[in-house]
Chains A and B, each alone.
Chain A
């Protein structure tokens, strides 16, 4: 099935640029009539993914490109995040395990991928010719979606 619309966002790998992507995602969530929490969580997932690329794939170095493609289908949103930094092994991320009553056991990092895996419906990661591609899919709920797909830039 072809996407009804595709949006391509490209930022330089700087932490302060990530909110630009986040704001765009929140805007799309609003356009799709998502409720506030669903919109926040969608933004959160994309922000976490782009932050991971900036911090870990590019080790916090600026000057690299991070590309986010947002593909809108009638039943789902697909996000593709592209980078040419170090490949990550998402399967090695530990589940979020801690004892809420033991302060010393609380995690301070490593929560980003847990958030993605919990909130997104599908996640895959591949490296093709040196380019890493994280694909995240979120299925739309009843009542969510575009009333007019032409408002997005058509490929």
Chain B
């Protein structure tokens, strides 16, 4: 999976550059998420602005990242397309994740938690 990643302070910002996060790419995302967290990243922004399609496998990979961080940090999401947002609403994950309309808002929220 093609990803763009950068640090802003202590926050890791990750932007998948693929249009789809589905069963064929979910394991890759989950593995990368594990590596970031194992490397000490505890505050992560996932920018989904390039993603048109997420299925339950892709959603599961994102959830696994949040579970791995646990209460020791946070994984927030930003710039979710309305179509993809409908999956978060359907599965009630919109009540689990903090979801922001811009990367700046996501960074600001995570910075306050630091």
Residues in chain A within 8 A of chain B (CB atoms): 15-16, 18-19, 22, 36-37, 39-41, 43-44, 47-48, 51, 54-55, 96, 98, 100, 103-104, 106-109, 111-112, 114-115, 118-119
Across chains A and B, which 8 residue pairs bring their CB atoms closest together, nearest first?
A: A40-B83, A111-B56, A15-B24, A100-B95, A108-B60, A16-B24, A112-B56, A51-B23
B55 touching A40 by the CB < 8 A rule?
Answer: no
A48 touching B55 by the CB < 8 A rule?
Answer: yes
Binds A, one of B4-12, B42-50, B86-94, B103-111: B86-94
| B contact face: mostly helix, strand, loop, or mixed | helix
A18 touching B24 by the CB < 8 A rule?
Answer: yes
Give the contact-size bracket for chain B.
Answer: 20 to 34
Instruction: Name which residue of chain A comes closest to B82, CB basis.
Output: A37
B55 touching A47 by the CB < 8 A rule?
Answer: yes
Distance, CA A36 to CA B24, complexed state (A): 23
A103 touching B67 by the CB < 8 A rule?
Answer: yes
From B23, B63, B90, B95, contact of A107 by CB (8 A): B63
From A43, A96, A119, contact of B92 by CB (8 A): A96
Instruction: Name which residue of chain B comes closest to A115, CB basis.
Output: B56
Distance, CA A51 to CA B67, complexed state (A): 24
Residues of A within 8 A of B83 (CB): 36-37, 39-40
Residues in chain B within 8 A of chain A (CB atoms): 20, 22-24, 53, 55-57, 59-61, 63-64, 66-67, 70-71, 82-84, 86-87, 90-92, 95-96
Known: A37-B82, A100-B95. A44 touches B55 (CB 8 A): yes
Residues of A within 8 A of B24 (CB): 15-16, 18-19
B59 touching A111 by the CB < 8 A rule?
Answer: yes
From B20, B64, B87, B95, contact of A108 by CB (8 A): B64
Instruction: Name which residue of chain B comes closest to A22, CB basis.
Output: B53
Distance, CA A55 to CA B24, complexed state (A): 11
Distance, CA A11 to CA B83, complexed state (A): 26
A111 touching B82 by the CB < 8 A rule?
Answer: no
